[in-house]
Amino acid sequence: MRFSRKSLGIPYAVFLVIFVAAPLLVLFYYAFTNGQGQFTLRNFTHFFTDPNTLGTLYYSFTIALVTTLVCLLLAYPVAYFLATSGLRSQSVILMLFVMPMWINFSLRITALKEILNLLEGNLAMHPFLNAVVGMTYDFMPFMILPIYTTISRLDGALCEAAMDLGADSLQTFLRVTLPLSVPGILSGVSMVFLPAMTNYVVLDMLYNSTYIMGSLIGSYFAAYNWHGGSMISLILLAMICIFTLLTGGEEDEPGRGGALL
């Protein structure tokens, strides 16, 4: 058999089939069957008629939205100044922002829990605020890195041209830099928003007793109801697909900072 470069893809293809395609099929099977293995749409209709599941969707959506906004507002200036300052120690500073990612997640949240407890007196009094703080803390690097990569790759000549044509620095930023960094923002948003809807470990550790989507799925599985749990996972998957379709299609996807993580 002749060895071609395509054969190098075989291990990954096998991996994809076993760990991505096969579980997806199982997910579909469970989502559209009932306990007796018969086809049913009940799981689907149940999700959209039960005020509790819809409420959970709303609650997770709100947490995720607020988290994403806070992340964006905090991360953009950081990424902007890092990328444009021309500091020689740029990469060191960037490292400082990424470093928390190298420490175990549950350890970080436990530390955060103690700090919040000191500040608030009783953690359980502000569950929503804690959830947003915890998620922001956890997902911030995912927002900084793509924006940083996009801005640092911007052609400086564009800004100079704008200046030459009489724009002041604010106008340059608003009409040149900001629009050109949108791909980075979108990439950051999708990396923060979607996990924030399901990452219930943060909520559990910070004593929020209200479920978000992830905890709801978990409770279905704990109650041996794999059908309802699979349907919720599937609905989330569909939402992610729609979101990606809308934001996707970017020609020059920024590196997403994967190398550093």
Query: Which is nearer to other proteins, 231 or 260 (by Cβ)?
Result: 231
Query: Which is nearer to other proteins, 78 or 109 (by Cβ)?
Result: 109
26 token code pair: 């199982």
DSSP codes joined into one string, 7-44: GGGHHHHHHHIIIIIHHHHHHHHHHTB-TTS-B-SHHH
Query: Which is nearer to other proteins, 97 or 211 (by Cβ)?
Result: 211
**Distances 186 to 44, 76, 134, 204 between C-alpha atoms, Å:** 30, 12, 21, 28
Q: How far is the CB of 39 from other proteins (least distance, A)?
A: 20
Amino acid identity at 108? R
177 token code pair: 């830099």
Q: What whole-number distance in Å separates Cα of residue 47 and Cα of residue 233? A: 11
Query: Which is nearer to other proteins, 28 or 226 (by Cβ)?
Result: 226
Q: How far is the CB of 115 from other proteins (least distance, A)?
A: 14
Q: How far is the CB of 91 from other proteins (least distance, A)?
A: 31
Q: How far is the CB of 51 from other proteins (least distance, A)?
A: 5
**Terminal Cα-to-Cα distance of the chain (whole angstroms):** 38
**Interface positions with other proteins (CB under 8 A):** 51-56, 58-59, 61-62, 65, 117, 122-125, 182, 207, 209-211, 215-216, 219, 221-225, 246-247, 249
Q: How far is the CB of 190 from other proteins (least distance, A)?
A: 11
73 token code pair: 């507002």
Query: Which is nearer to other proteins, 13 or 124 (by Cβ)?
Result: 124
Maximum separation of any 2 CA atoms in the chain, in Å: 72
Q: How far is the CB of 62 from other proteins (least distance, A)?
A: 6
77 bridge partner residues: none
Query: Which is nearer to other proteins, 44 or 207 (by Cβ)?
Result: 207
Query: Which is nearer to other proteins, 95 or 223 (by Cβ)?
Result: 223
User: Which residue in 140, 116, 111 sits closest to 127, CA to CA?
Assistant: 116
**Distances 53 to 45, 194, 212 between C-alpha atoms, Å:** 11, 17, 9
User: Which residue in 192, 219, 64, 240 sits closest to 211, CA to CA?
Assistant: 219
Q: How far is the CB of 222 from other proteins (least distance, A)?
A: 5
Cα angle value 202/128/111 (rounded, 5°) = 40
